[in-house]
Structure 1
Amino acid sequence: MKKGLTLLTGGLLAFAFHASAQFEPGTLMLGSTLGTTTYTDGSNSYAYDNGNSRSVSNKAWSLTAGPQLGVFISPNVVIGGTISVTATNNRTNTTTLTSGVQGSNYATSTNYTVGFGPFMRIYFANQPANNLFFMQIHGSLATGSGTSSGNGSSPSSSYNTTGSVSNILNWNAGGSLGVTHFFNKHVGMDIALGYLYTHNQSDNANSTQTTNSGNGNTTTTTNNYTLTSPSNGITFNLGFHWFLFN
């Protein structure tokens, strides 16, 4: 009995040493964000004094993945950087009422960006455990390109739009709360929920074909503009990390 207790105590001490060693200064945290999903949903309604109205709803989602490297600067704090590849889909629906005539249109865009940004993670405890909670703050600067399309209609005409999105400059900042589940002393899986603020600017070049409902005639026009759009969203993150220490 005494021998068994001694072995058990020795095993627990060894586990505690190895678990806490993950959090010694200089320990590397190497991993990948397999998927960070962000969703935003907003709407605006305009009621003009002349009786006209306009309502706009916007829905967007994005999926981000990329490698991540960090180093423990204290037993609980990790600082590092992330390279991210993001795909974003945005859909805008607009309904108008002008002089009693109702019209509607929608537009979609799909953008791809590559970015880099820093992060800092704080673990709430440095104790041997299978599940450890953390808080993380992060930011990113990204650039890329994409495509856009849309259509609309009114009693007098209908139209279709195609275009390109270029010179995307995107920066974001946010934070999250999560938990790392350790499969062993070197491998952990992250699950986190957080908030993200994004500021996006891009150049848009569009070609619109408008068809007259009465005579069927079609005209083509170009419409180029610079878009600046801030947004707030909720993020869900899943990833794996390897903890490398001597």
Structure 2
Amino acid sequence: MVDGTAQSHVDLTDPTHLEFEYVRRLGHVIDAAGPPTAPLRVLHLGGGAWTLPRYVAATRPGSGQRIVELDGALAELVAARLPADGVGLQVSIGDARAELERLPDASVDVLVVDVYAGARIPAHLTCVAFVRAAARVLAPGGLYAANLADGARLEFARAQVATARAVLPELAVIAAPAVLDGRRFGNLVLVAGREPLPLAALIRAAAGDPFPARVEHGRAVHRFAAGAPVVTDRTARPSPVPPPGFFGRPDRRAP
């Protein structure tokens, strides 16, 4: 927890145990990103307690993984209290966008964006320039996966899809039906790439999850973003403030 906001859940005895529903959906993206067990080059913007990197290391041994985390004290705490010895993680302390812009072209197979300052995504990580920087480092067939949070009219999430679409032509959104329909605040996972996405695998995994989700793609995802603006550095805003009690809800966690 950070300032009362749930940040990460780690099972040191079973790194394949993903507790939070949105982390499970990011895990589905990792699973679909290549042949089973094949190593991947994964960049994690936002490390939390290194839950997903541990999952990748367990399910895809030999993967090259880099974590970018702004909070150096948090990284030290995780290393001391929740060690991941022998996993081969490279941890960088710095701003996610600044570190991203230093990376070589086509050097990443999967880019996971899960950066929150407390309970909100920082504004400078929501604009089209950030997505262009992400697209530059993606290898052919690479996947961009971002954890978003929104509710009601989904104005923030719709603008994020429109912004990604301005750079990466293939898109999908994974979320609980109640979130996609605007009936409650929640997490949405945006998946994007230059080449066709592994939709069949994502749909199958999302439907069979303990917290079933819907995968919007094709015309549905274009309708979802219809009329939404492309976000620029000038117009960028942080993600919405979650409602009180949001992070204490039991349906944010898997049984």
Q: Normalised by the size of structure 2, how large is the TM-score? A: 0.20
In terms of fraction of residues, the more strand-rich structure is: 1
Greater gyration radius: 1
